[in-house]
Structure 1
Amino acid sequence: MRAPFSHINEAWSRLILERLYDHGVRDLCIAPGSRSAPLTLAAANLQRPDLALHTHFDERGLGFFALGLAKARGRPVALITTSGTAVPNLHPALVEAFQTHVPLVAVTADRPPELLHCGANQAIEQSGLFARHVRAAADLPPADEAVSAGWLSQALDRACAALHGPDRGPVHINAPFRDPLYGTSQRADFGPWRSDVRPVPETPPPAPAMARPETPPQTPALLVAGQLLPEEARAVLRLAERTGTPVLADIGSQLRLLDHPRILPYAELWLATPAGRCALAGIRQVIQFGGRLTGKRLNQWLAGFEGEHWLVSEHSDHLDPQRRARHVQAPIPDFCDALPLPPSPPLETAEPTVNACLEATLEARFSELTAVRLITQRLPRGMALLPGNSMSVRLLDLVAAPGDGNPVLTNRGASGIDGLVATAAGYARHHGAGVTLVLGDLSLLHDLNSLHLAARSPSPLVILALNNDGGAIFQLLPARDQGPHFEPFFQLPHGLDFAQAAAQFGLDYARPDTPEALAATYDAACTRTGATLIELCFPPHHGADHLNLLLQRLQETGNG
């Protein structure tokens, strides 16, 4: 095999990228840099018809863009950065990927060991930098012909094994390079050096054993759907249909936006009423699929539930903050299809009463609640919804209208407010039906650079920014009662809007101020390729006051 390169750095980098391709990588996200030039040039010269290259000038945004790509395609995505502080800028995205088992590969170029701890430029300690937030790491030696290519490929294989299987997640490959990095005029045949490279072993990823609880499930039972993949959500719904068991669905479950007789709509609102809580008094068994539940009331009810509580997940993580549930590690589709669950009687949901109270309250005032409900009522078929963290995801979990069951993606692993625009842009790159992102003003300020990624979206990307001049979530927390300390230390009002930011990055922009104007603007944005930024401006306390009014009316109706 003849492999002419000008330098070992080129041959070494080519082998790294070929190995990642063999492990399923079809997207390479590249940040600019000098030390990473061998990797970048190898990527540019790696001719694979199904390999896509993506670039961005901001490593933090690029990391979340890769996260969105990986979620959309369900396969590993690789990132290439230069050395120095470029590397830790990937950390927030890797934390989210670690928490939610998303397979990212951080390929970080590095200075060789002799340039560390001596004041050399752009040289930091990169080995082990991500420590507890990657599933595996490969700290490579500097590129050198004395190191066998077969050894290099096996080292990469060992790390990349963590991209697959039930506890998959992000991987860190740290690759030092010595000068000259690239560009020499000499050509050399590295075929002999590559002669001991073997194909990637074709072994299926390990699957968790089909764990079975020691006791059979009891009835009446209740299914709780947390953060789920689409195939897992379909299996939970099959179980509910087969047994008649009701489902309480989180906004990230892929079931919350589905209008279905087995799914209790507005579970959080229903649990806010005495009648709703009373209806659950007879439940003897809770079977929860996936963790990280958004709803405050559902979490509170589970914390006080005294019956049998199973939490089923394919991963080994124990996602039970109360540490009371029995963890069952099993593939959710297999578990649901095999579970001998007897039929459960229907619950008294008081759905018409909740619906009437909800509609009457929302029609009386245009607020964040009205806006997010309107968006879910008009969400085009197939378009994905990304609820931003903090206030946005809670409002959507509370009042989103059930409908066609649109896909929902969330960053609920660490629930950070950073990287949301980039995640949406990455997902939209491989989701032709487009994405609607709902986020707050602080979240958008955190990720302004990623509007550059959003503007290049090949499918509709609608960014609905709820601008309430700071951290409105604190209006719902005890911080609101901290007097003169509330504004400067919690809310942090900024007085900014996003019209000029949209113009700078070339996004369509609108600022509707009525429900009718929002509906027209949103409908038009959903038909356009590229990104549209829709900004809604409200007083800081407006949404919290409206939500509290809704909850008060539900409580009074339930007592009625």
Structure 2
Amino acid sequence: MNGSTAQARVLVDELVRAGVTDAVLCPGSRNAPPALALARAEELGLVGLHVRTDERAAGFLALGLSLASGRPVPVVVTSGTAVANLHPAVLEAAHAGVPLLALTADRPPELVGTGASQTIAQSGLFGPAVRWSGSLAVPGAVTDAEVRRWRATVARVLAAAAGTGSGAPGPVHLDLPYTEPLVPETEDAAPGSDLLGPGVPPGRDGGEPWTAVPPPVRSLPPLPLDPAARTLVIAGSGGPAADPARLGGAPLVAEPSSGWWPHALRSGPWLLDRPELRPSQVVVLGRPTLHRAVAALLADPAVAVHADPGPHGAPWTDVPGTVRAVGSLPHLTPPDDWTWAWSAADRTAAKALDTALDDGTADGAPGLRLARDLVRAQPDGGQLVLGSSNPVRDVALAAAPRDGLVVRANRGVAGIDGTVSTAAGAALAHDGPTTLLLGDLTLLHDTTGLVGGGPAEPDPDLTVVVLDDDGGGIFHLLEQGGPEHAHAFERVFGTPTGVDLLGLARATGWAAADWTGDPAELAAWPGSGRRLVRVAAARSGLRDAHAALRRTVAAALA
């Protein structure tokens, strides 16, 4: 057996032994050895293989698979610019703490810099974004010593992805330089009951990984705060596992992608600037990124800020430099009048918000009502993936937190690329249907994510709900959306495209239709397959509608 084939089969065998259940592959010539090894492993029922033709979409598909499964997922690509197209997903995985394995085929080192086709300097390409970066040696003779090194390297790669001994989980990069021949000899290519084939030393007996690496166990001491003080808890993505008993009734403002969201106040983001509700201390769980009112509160020098980044070794969030201590959330015992004031304000604001969403006050911000109704419509056991920009904020501002629904979002870097592919990966790894809420520009950023992998690939039960306001709605709510910039707004911020999203979806094999207004159309269900629901909207009234809602909530609280 040639060295490239043997090394690739050992690599896949060791990944399977370590618990990898899914892999994503893009077609190419130089990555033929791992491609054929993965195909053989799939035939043997050892791994679920997902084939995609676009590397950027493949990277985010692997990201979504890892997000929903909690397991490391490799994405295997050929050499050259194929590797560079993984960079957006690698960056998201780095900042979100997702164990993504970038396995990149390469030319042998002596060809780099010689003008060889499809050859770049791949080693170290991802820089500090990866937890570990290295390469296997160009495979030569298949010896016991070489196979041991290959297996030991795989163990080190997986440990780095899991964050063992080196901080938070995250992406890793293993470069795989191969020389020809890139395909197995005839007898080695034939299907069989053994992944490795004759002449390749096996791994540990019993299917155990070559090097047993225990999962990281980390604990933080309790935060040195006054548990009886007027405490507000703010939760973002990541952070410690939800334990509402620790709150002792303290008000909780949580972003939808936080595991704490089901226990949060409905209208918390609308109440953060109320003087009568100003806390004396704040505990930040995970990494909140959505609300400017949160940023302003954390920057207030009169408020004592503490952080609990969770047990995975992630850095604590401290944009304004105000965090006084890092530790674990202790049991809080806030004053009764404090918890009552927040609860009463939340009930009042929520009632005013719902009334405004239903009476036309918020018609200029259709995404808010859509977000509220969409969250309500999801079945128990479902999964909701939220696009960046307005959709995740609309859910945070308008939807009622609820149990029975897993909510995910790419909040590591909060980009809009790869969102369809992330949702598809999460759907394939989730035991239940998935709905994705996103905007039209976010959809267009991942058009190849709509393509999927072709008729041989499994279809997820994924309903994509796209708010089509033909452009960048979020910019209406920022400084550049002010009237003084109206002369240039549409050209450089609004950026309408005029794309027929229903035609695009149908051309790539999706069932697609305009929303009729029935909330049931906003949810996926088992066996629903790939569906796209387009919600047509205008964005010109966004700024005024949000201002009107703020006035309405403030008036109700007054």
Under a length normalisation based on structure 2, what TM-score does the superposition of the two structures give?
Answer: 0.88
Question: Where does residue 377 of structure 2 map in the other structure?
Answer: 378
The 3 A distance-change label for structure 1 pair 376 and 121 is: same
Q: Secondary structure at the match of 1:409?
A: strand
* Structure 2 Cα separation of the partners of residues 526 and 209 of structure 1: 39
The structure 2 residue matched to 1:494, chosen from 490, 494, 497, is 497
The alpha-carbon deviation at position 340 of structure 1 amounts to 4.8
Match of 1:484 among 483, 487, 497: 487
Q: Which residue of 2 aligns with 1:210?
A: 220
Residue 332 (structure 1) aligns with = none
Q: 1:250 aligns with which of 246, 249, 255?
A: 255
Conservation of the 8 A alpha-carbon contact between 2:257 and 2:408:
yes
Deviations for 1:357-380, whole angstroms, at most 9, x for unmatched residues? 212221233422221111112121
- Residue 419 of structure 2 is matched in structure 1 by 420
Partner of 1:436: 435
Deviation, structure 1 residue 186: 6.8
Give the counterpart letter for 1:81 in structure 2: V
CA distance 1:186–1:353, change in 2 (3 Å):
closer
Question: Amino acid of the residue matched to residue 278 of structure 1?
Answer: P
Give the aligned partner of residue 32 of structure 1. Answer: 27
Q: Please tell me the residue identity of whatever aligns with 1:101.
A: G
Taking structure 1 as reference, are residues 23 and 450 closer, same or farther at Cα in structure 2, changes over 3 Å only?
A: same
1:126 aligns with 2:122: yes
For 1:158-169, list aligned pairs within 5 A: 158-164=156-162, 165=164, 167-169=168-170
Corresponding residue of 2:59: 63
CA distance in 2, matches of 1:298, 1:215: 20
Deviation at 1:192, TM superposition (A): 6.7
SS of 2:270's equivalent?
helix
2:94 aligned counterpart, secondary structure: helix
CA distance in 1, matches of 2:185, 2:157: 31
Give me the whole-angstrom Cα distance separating, in 2, the residues matched to 1:234 and 1:180: 52
The number of aligned residues is: 529
Distance in 2 between residues matched to 1:411 and 1:160, nearest whole Å:
22
Could you tell me which runs of 5 or more consecutive residues in structure 1 were left unpaired when the two chains were aligned: 1-5, 330-334
Give the secondary-structure state (helix, strand or coil) at the position aligned to 1:173. strand
Q: Say if 2:438 and 2:467, in contact at 8 Å, map to a contact too.
A: yes
User: C-alpha offsets along residues 145-180 of structure 1, whole Å, 9 cap, x if unaligned?
Assistant: 277222222233222211224511111110011112
**Counterpart for residue 3 of structure 1:** none
The answer to whether the 8 Å contact 2:271/2:277 transfers is no
Q: How does 1:103-502 map to 2 (within 5 A)?
A: 103-145=99-141, 148-164=146-162, 165=164, 167-185=168-186, 194=201, 199-214=209-224, 217-228=227-238, 232-235=240-243, 237-240=244-247, 243-256=248-261, 258=262, 263-271=264-272, 277-281=274-278, 283-304=279-300, 306-313=302-309, 314=311, 315-328=313-326, 335-336=328-329, 339-345=330-336, 346-349=339-342, 350-365=345-360, 366=363, 367-453=366-452, 458-480=459-481, 481-502=484-505
Determine if contact 2:385/2:407 at 8 Å carries over to the other structure. Answer: yes
Match of residue 510 from structure 2:
507
Provide the C-alpha distance between the structure 2 equivalents of 1:347 and 1:23, rounded to a whole number of angstroms: 50
Residues 212-259 of structure 1, C-alpha deviations (whole Å, 9 max, x = no match): 445554522222222137xx4432x1212xx23221211211333x3x
The 3-state SS of whatever aligns with 1:179 is coil
State whether residues 26 and 54 of structure 2, in contact with CA within 8 Å, keep that contact through their aligned partners in structure 1: yes
Q: Is the 8 A contact 1:295 1:397 kept in 2?
A: no
Change in CA separation of 1:372 and 1:9 when aligned onto 2, cut-off 3 Å: same
Q: Could you tell me how far apart the structure 1 residues matched to 2:51 and 2:252 are?
A: 42
State which drifts further: 132-141 or 446-455: 446-455
Q: CA deviation at 1:405?
A: 4.8
Work out whether 1:7 is the aligned partner of 2:2: yes
Does the aligned pair in 1 maintain the 2:99–2:161 contact within 8 Å? yes
Deviation at 1:388, TM superposition (A): 0.5
Aligned to 1:510, the other structure's residue is in SS state strand
Deviates more, 1:420-429 or 1:376-385: 376-385
Work out whether residues 218 and 285 of structure 1, in 8 Å CA contact, stay in contact via their aligned partners in 2.
no
Change (3 A) 1:428 1:454: farther
| Pair 1:519–1:254, CA change in 2 (3 A) | same
Indicate conservation of the 8 Å contact 1:387/1:438, yes or no: yes
1:554 counterpart letter in structure 2? V
1:300 Cα offset (Å):
1.6
- Structure 1 residue 76: Cα displacement: 0.5
Deviation digits for residues 442-488 of structure 1 (CA, Å, limit 9, x no counterpart): 10001111112399665531111111111111111121232332111
Larger displacement relative to structure 2 (490-499 or 32-41): 490-499
Partners of 1:123 and 1:17 lie apart in 2 by 24
My pick for the range that moved more, 185-194 or 346-355, is 185-194
**Aligned-partner Cα distance in 2 for 1:101–1:490:** 31
Q: What runs of 5+ residues in structure 2 fail to find an aligned partner? A: 190-195
Query: Quick one: distance in 2 between partners of 1:187 and 1:467?
Result: 52
Rounded Cα–Cα distance in structure 1 between residues aligned with 2:433 and 2:465: 14
Percent sequence identity over matched residues? 33
Structure 1 residue 522 displacement after superposition? 2.5
How many angstroms does 1:385 deviate by?
A: 1.4
Q: Distance in 1 between matches of 2:203 and 2:17?
A: 16
d(CA) in 1 for partners of 2:500, 2:70: 35
Distance 1:186 1:170, change over 3 A: same
* Cα separation, 1, equivalents of 2:282 and 2:228: 9
Q: Which amino acid aligns with 1:269?
A: W
Deviations 1:45-75 (A, max 9, x none): 2265352111111111111111111011111
The answer (yes or no) to whether the contact 1:103–1:169 under 8 Å persists in 2 is: yes
Indicate the SS of the match to 2:137: coil
Q: Distance in 2 between matches of 1:374 and 1:185?
A: 58
Query: 1:381 and 1:193, CA in 2 relative to 1: closer, same or farther beyond 3 A?
Result: closer
Tell me, in whole angstroms, the C-alpha distance in 2 between the residues paired with 1:359 and 1:206: 45
Query: What is the rounded CA distance, in whole Å, between the counterparts of 1:507 and 1:327 in structure 2?
Result: 50
1:208 is displaced (CA, Å) by 2.5
Please tell me the root mean square deviation across aligned C-alpha atoms, in Å: 2.6
User: Cα deviations across residues 389-434 of structure 1 (Å, max 9, x unaligned)?
Assistant: 0111111111012333521111000000011111111111121321
SS of the equivalent of 1:234 reads: coil
**Paired residues of 1:102 and 1:169 also in contact (CA < 8 A):** yes
Deviation of the 1:305 alpha carbon = 5.4
Contact kept? 1:98, 1:169, Cα under 8 Å: yes
What secondary structure is seen at the aligned counterpart in 2 of 1:94? helix
Question: d(CA) in 2 for partners of 1:22 and 1:528?
Answer: 32
Q: TM-score of the superposition, structure 1-length normalised? A: 0.88
The residue aligned with 2:11 is 16
Is the partner of 2:438 in helix, strand or coil? strand
Q: Which amino acid aligns with 2:532?
A: L
Which sits farther off after the overlay, 437-446 or 474-483? 474-483
